[in-house]
Amino acid sequence: MNTQYYIKNYCKIKEARVTLNDNLVFEDDTNELKSFFKNVYKHLELKYAKFFKMDNLSKLSFLAAEYILQNVENSTDRNIAIVLSNRASSLDTDRKHQNSIQDKENYYPSPAIFVYTLPNIAIGEISIKHQLKSENAFFVFDTFNAEFLCNYARVLLDKNKAESVLCGWVDVDNDNYEGFMYLVSRKGELKHTIKELTNIYQN
């Protein structure tokens, strides 16, 4: 018999809005990505200068994780695995890196950009902030894959590889962005099922 797990909190960041468990927690009137992420950061009242050095995918992931993990007691002491996914991988930053090396006469690759040319760096940024040394993986799909994420999180919990799993879809491509992150826990009220995940993602 399968153990029942639960979706403890879920956060959505898209269209200049942030919702936590479907409640609006922040709304902005800017369409400019950099400004929007900065305003969300200010809303969270964080003091974390490294945030401004991150690429947009890491910023989006970091912010969504922050809304969820700030409501989890002692997140630094817990074994929280991270499983993220998206469509564009790190393409948004890959393009910036490509532009910096396109011209052989003006060849100045930026180390600060290059380090973000992998999507799983976003997981690293969350792990550093919350001091997590846990299982993690980043997958690339065409669209949000509730079935895969649900099964992957379940296996991690079944095998006691983690106490809870921070899962999500974090996609950035030019000015388009979408963040959906949730925490799968052993306790809670909202059942962790493919159907429920699909519902809260689509609503």
Partner 1 sequence: MEGLKLELKEKIIEQLNLEDISIDEIGDNDPLFGDGLGLDSIDALELIVMLDKDYGIKLSDPKEGKKIFESIEVMATYIAKHRK
Residues 83-122 that bind partner 1 (CB under 8 A): 108-112, 115
Q: Looking at the chain, how many residues does it have?
A: 203
Nearer to partner 1 by C-beta: 27 or 109?
109
Among 15, 27, 32, 52, binds partner 1 (CB under 8 A): 52
C-alpha distances in Å from residue 50, one per residue of 8, 26, 54, 62, 155: 28, 22, 7, 11, 33
Q: How many CB atoms lie within 10 A of CB 135?
A: 16
- Residue 143 CB, shortest distance to partner 1, in Å, is 32
CB of 196 to partner 1, least distance (A): 38
CB-CB contact of 168 with 84 (8 Å) = yes
Out of 38, 43, 78, 87, which residue is the one contacting partner 1 (CB under 8 A)?
38
Stretch that binds partner 1, among 10-18, 45-53, 118-126, 162-170 (CB under 8 A): 45-53
Residue 20's CB is within 10 A of a number of other CB atoms, namely 18
Calpha distance 178→201 (Å, rounded) = 11
Q: Considering only residues 116 through 175, tell me which ones interact with partner 1, judged by CB under 8 A.
A: none
Tokens of 179: 């963040």
The footprint of partner 1 on this chain (CB under 8 A) covers a number of residues equal to: 10
Residue of the chain from 53, 161, 191, 195 that contacts partner 1 (CB under 8 A): 53
In three-state secondary structure terms, 108 is coil
CB of 62 to partner 1, least distance (A): 14
Minimum gap (Å) between residue 194 Cβ and partner 1: 40
CB-CB contact of 84 with 200 (8 Å): no
User: Which residues of this chain interact with partner 1, rule CB under 8 A?
Assistant: 38, 49, 52-53, 108-112, 115
